[in-house]
Amino acid sequence: MARIALTISPGALTLEALQDIHAGNVALSLDQAAHEAIARSAAVVQRAAAGADAVYGVNTGFGKLASTRIDAADLAALQRNLIRSHSVGVGAPMDAAVVRLMLALKAASLGRGFSGVRPVVVQSILAAYNAGFIPYIPSQGSVGASGDLAPLSHLALALMGEGECLSPSGERVPAAAALVHHGLTPLTLEAKEGLALINGTQASTALALHALFTFEPVLESALVVGALTVDAARGSDGPFDPRIHAVRGQPGQIDVAQYYRWLLAGSAIRESHLHGDDRVQDPYCLRCQPQVVGACLDQLRHAALVLLREANAVTDNPLVFEDGTLVSGGNFHAEPVALAADAMATAIAEVGAIAERRIAMLIDPVVSRLPAFLTPNAGLNSGFMIAHVTAASVASENKSLAHPASVDSLPTSANQEDHVSMATFAARRLGPMIDNVACILGIELMAAAQGIDFLRPLTSSVALERVHAELRAHVPFVGEDRYLAPDIEVATSLVKQGLLSAVRDDLPGVPALWVAV
């Protein structure tokens, strides 16, 4: 498939552009206007390297060794040694989509012209992205300050022709051979360039953006599945009345309620119990969906703002300014990413938590007014009894995973780096949490569809009937107990693909839930 050309204007990346980069749909180039600033800052570093004054990261050691001066003849070796010594990551490799984002974010940051690297460094990164060159980057080993040192070192090591890469099939191959295969030239580092490559928050930011983009279709599916459950339980659409949400004024809540109104419009099931229903109020898991999921949406939208700022930021150290000075600071500290990821974790867990409650409600005949455990012959059959247990299990896991990572700090570098963000783990743990939520929603989708089947010949809305039919094309009604694990896998896959996209044609004029920043 031909890729679309995308020009990076440093400091001006959008969420839409980052999604395309994440997906690998684009070929990247750097805005010509950026080259002057890059060259100017590189010249400042080259003068500092030739001078007599000590400049951190240029002619000194690193971290606790910042007071150690390095001879001019050893400055290139200093940068090579930095990359080699800091390539100490462990664990499973980062996903190729995450690495693509890391490459692009690092190029965009260096391209702003405050890092003192030569243009060839930025060009090499972009050439690697365009060639599909994916450095092998272990996912563990960063504390989120001073920058994502270990992950970014593995990235830089591969660009140097050392270390390893991932082949298209996911196998680890020598980076030197991969460079030759792709027609790329190994990057030779000069003063400060190794430090500029590994200082920064690009690994934690890429992981958090990966989670944001991965969760988008799952969150949209949560609304569709939640609406289907409302109809399966013969719930009221009164709690979605726009007047309720307008007087509170929370934007996510207002938007989510609007979605439920769209999704449930025209339901014959709802019409059947508008009058004479003896249930005065629905359980919270039905009635409070706009308040709960809407609050989660607001948190995720705020996280998107923070991550977009970080994607456009300069986060290495020291920084080179237009007056020719190099100033040491701490932009590499990933606290904004850590806090955003922690907020995302809470929101992701809550979307799964309320979905688990809806499953529990559906299988309880007292509350749902459906057959016990959603089976026609309870006792002989257990129906959805243990499928709910699975949902409860992974919902519980998410409660532990949602514990904030940012409140922890272990000093490193002999107490020179004495407060760190833990942003990389904060962002990395979001992936398993999203998988758990998708599983819960997959089980709920099956349970809600089962409930709808018990209400036949009544039908739900056009949009929700389309979702029901899509599931039934792969997962039949559960009449007698059978092996359900494969069905759960299929339903979970449908959730991850995004059920809202499947009913777009049935909701004309409905905007995307996810607000692009």
* Catalytically active residues, by annotation: 56
Cα 283 to Cα 276: distance, rounded to the nearest angstrom = 18
Q: Are 115 and 196 spatial neighbours (Cβ–Cβ below 8 Å)?
A: yes
State whether residue 94 is helix, strand or coil. Answer: coil
Per the listing, tokens 């948190």 go with 299
With a CB cutoff of 8 Å and minimum separation 6, the contacts of 119 are 35, 38, 39, 42
The Cα angle at residue 477 between residues 474 and 481, in degrees rounded to 5: 110
Strand pairing report for 164-166 and 134-135: antiparallel
Q: Are 5 and 27 spatial neighbours (Cβ–Cβ below 8 Å)?
A: yes
State whether residue 4 is helix, strand or coil. Answer: strand
CB atoms inside a 10 Å sphere around CB 273:
16
Residue 60 in tokens: 């000194």
Burial of 376 (0-12, 13-18, 19+ CB in 10 A): middle
**Residue 365: alpha-carbon gap to chain centroid:** 38
The Cα angle at residue 82 between residues 322 and 131, in degrees rounded to 5: 80
The Cα angle at residue 215 between residues 232 and 94, in degrees rounded to 5: 140
Nearest to 85 by CA among 194, 202, 203: 194
Per the listing, tokens 């995302």 go with 344
CB atoms inside a 10 Å sphere around CB 515:
15
In this structure, is the dihedral angle defined by the CA atoms of residues 400, 437, 296 and 280, taken in order, positive or negative? negative
Burial of 407 (0-12, 13-18, 19+ CB in 10 A): exposed
Residue 158, amino acid: A
Strand pairing report for 4-8 and 26-30: parallel
Q: Are 230 and 237 spatial neighbours (Cβ–Cβ below 8 Å)?
A: yes
Continuous H helices in 28-174:
35-50, 75-86, 96-110, 119-131, 149-159
**Residue 8: alpha-carbon gap to chain centroid:** 21
Nearest to 221 by CA among 458, 474, 434: 434
Residue 418 in tokens: 């004495």
Nearest to 422 by CA among 185, 163, 224, 148: 148
